[in-house]
Amino acid sequence: MTKTAWVFPGQGSQEPGMGIDLSELPLAQDRFRLAEEILGWSVLEACQEDSDKLNRTLYTQPCLYVVESILADLLLEKGNTPYLVAGHSLGEYVALYAARVFDFETGLGLVKHRAELMDGASEGIMVALMKFDRQQLEKLIEQTPDVVIANDNSPAQVVISGKPEAVQEVSTQIKAKRAVPLKVSGAFHSPLIAEVAAQFQEVLDAVAFADAQFPVLSNVEPLPTVEAAILKNRLQRQMTGSVRWREISMQLPVEGIEQVVEIGPGKVLTGLIKRMCPDLILQNIGSAKDFSA
């Protein structure tokens, strides 16, 4: 049997109209209804509205969680199971749900609180860098206070996060092909949101985690585990810690993975993995029509 990893994208992969074609399926109808009870607003309506609303953290994160978890459940319902799972930032919550570390309602409750807190984090900025000198970047980061590598996505793509003046200083000094400011409310995955992370910690502490049914590669520690206590500790560190997606990707062939299925809108993660692990079979499940394919 082919060893398959399921990976779940995070904020930035959202697309207007995502999840709409799922709305005719009974399983999805139940989830959308339950999500509206928990959130107090409709995921389907948010996904159909203008991109400005969908791109706001408050709506983006719950919408991605709901749509991706429905897609994962449809795969499981059809008898598909992964060898291991991983998710990029917000996607890690879907990975934990798919591995049955917590139920749908618990996961959405966590994501709701996370989105509300992060939406209100107004300090700091984030900038994506493409095709840069890594040695130079690491030296600049080391020399510049209040800026960190927030997302280490691939050898050729990272996101830096921190105080505006620090991020701008690094962005102007680094030799990079492109530097793109991200439309986010704060310096996510950096020490600047430590206060927000502390508030979220109180919410997370109250939630019981179960051992995972499939190993999970976590953002802050890209090594597989099924142990509930370890997974919870890693998630506690995720909000201020770096997303180590480059290392997660490189770990996949080490674990014997032969195929990767990206579950969610877009093809961001499979695009990154393709460049780092060209021998892996890649597939995308982003809508109902992808199941027939």
Active site residues: 89, 189
Q: Which amino acid makes up residue 263? A: I
Q: Which helix (H) or strand (E) holds 84?
A: strand 84-87
**How are the residues of the chain apportioned to helix, strand and coil, as percentages rounded to the nearest 5?**
50, 15, 35
If DSSP codes are grouped into helix, strand and coil, which group holds residue 262? strand
Distance of CA 192 to the CA centre of its chain: 19
Q: Backbone phi, then psi, for 230, in 5-degree steps?
A: -70, -45
Nearest-angstrom CA–CA distance, 160 and 137:
10
Question: Which tokens go with 119?
Answer: 């939406």
Q: Show Cβ contacts of residue 280 under 8 Å, excluding neighbours closer than 6 positions.
A: 252, 253, 257, 258, 259, 260, 273, 274
